[in-house]
Amino acid sequence: MMKLPESALICEVGPRDGFQYETKWIPTERKLAVIQRLLEAGVRRIQITSFVHPKWVPQMADAEEICRHLPQRDDVIFSGLALNQKGVERAHAAGLRYIDLSIATHDEHSLANANMTVAEAVRQAEAMVRLAHHYDMQPQLGLQTVFGYRKPGDTPLARVRELARRFVDLGLESFSLADTTGMAHPLRIQEYVQAVQEEIGDTPLVLHLHDTRGLGLANVLAALQCGVRRFDTSVGGLGGCPFIPGATGNIATEDTVYLLEAMGVRTGIDYHKVAELALELETFLGKLLPSRQARLLARQRDLASQAHTA
């Protein structure tokens, strides 16, 4: 029998990772309504925005406004992404206690994404972790393109292990591995996860998976077998990266929750409600999203409508 954890924690990243690259402006009121709908579906950890310069990411220009209108919930963790110390300062001033930090592991990607080498990004991230602790914030740090950038495996595992050890020693709420390009497969997931677990000890490990090659949920299962219990997901499968041609969105929240619940891994999330939200976002954005559960729900509604009019 396959050994799986009894429960898993889903972090919804749609309001940040999913929305940030959309060219159609998403009003603050709609973003807040999406967050509220996610809470009603049972999501208890949400990455709500990023504190970046609006010149570079216009969609996130309302970060402070979003924070001002968040519901006061003791049972929910809201976090925001920061890419530099100014972002950490803004998040602290906005009242967030959890801050997400992220650095590349491949120099070419780091230069394209952040205009600095990996070594420079690491030094900056170390200063950001220390600043977060100064503000009594809880930092999560994630590594990008862990499983490949230009080709699978071109990020050395030794580099990933060294960075994991280096940052966990500074004190992290959790440590995240991102399959930014969607190049990972189940065997590589298990190889890297097991190696990183040796370095980080009791620090929770999070996987941030993209579904570019259709292996996202297979990689979830592989990680579960290694004891991973935390995953970043995005409503409808929204997301992507402008510096990676062809990269698609994150694994869909509703698809991931369906898989977990079907296998007896509790999430506390109603995937039907998330799928309904995904369909509404499709209408607003004017495009189909990659969510399987949303497609199934749409077909079921079409069939029900046809039967009613027949």
Which pair of structure tokens corresponds to residue 310? Answer: 């027949």
Question: Is 11 annotated as catalytic?
Answer: no
Helix (H, G, I), strand (E, B), or coil: what is residue 83? coil
Structure tokens at 194: 């097991």
Task: Scan for tokens 């040796």, then name that residue.
Answer: 198
Find all residues with CB under 8 Å of 22, minimum gap 6, and list them.
Answer: 59, 238, 285
Burial 29-56 (b: 16+ CB within 10 A, else e): eebbebbebbbebebbbbbbbbbbeeee
Distance CA 45, CA 191 (A): 27
Q: What is the dihedral of CA 130, 168, 15, 27, to 10 degrees?
A: 10
CA distance 250 to 231: 10
**What whole-number distance in Å separates Cα of residue 224 and Cα of residue 256?**
12
Tell me which amino acid residue 147 is: F
Helical pair 118-134 and 107-114, crossing angle rounded to 10 deg: 60
Closest CA to 17 of 41, 57, 49: 49
Question: What is the signed CA dihedral for 186, 191, 195, 198, rounded to 10 degrees?
Answer: 70
98-103 and 77-82 as β-strands: parallel, antiparallel, unpaired? parallel
In whole angstroms, give the CA distance from residue 183 to residue 151. Answer: 8
Annotated catalytic sites, by residue?
Answer: 241
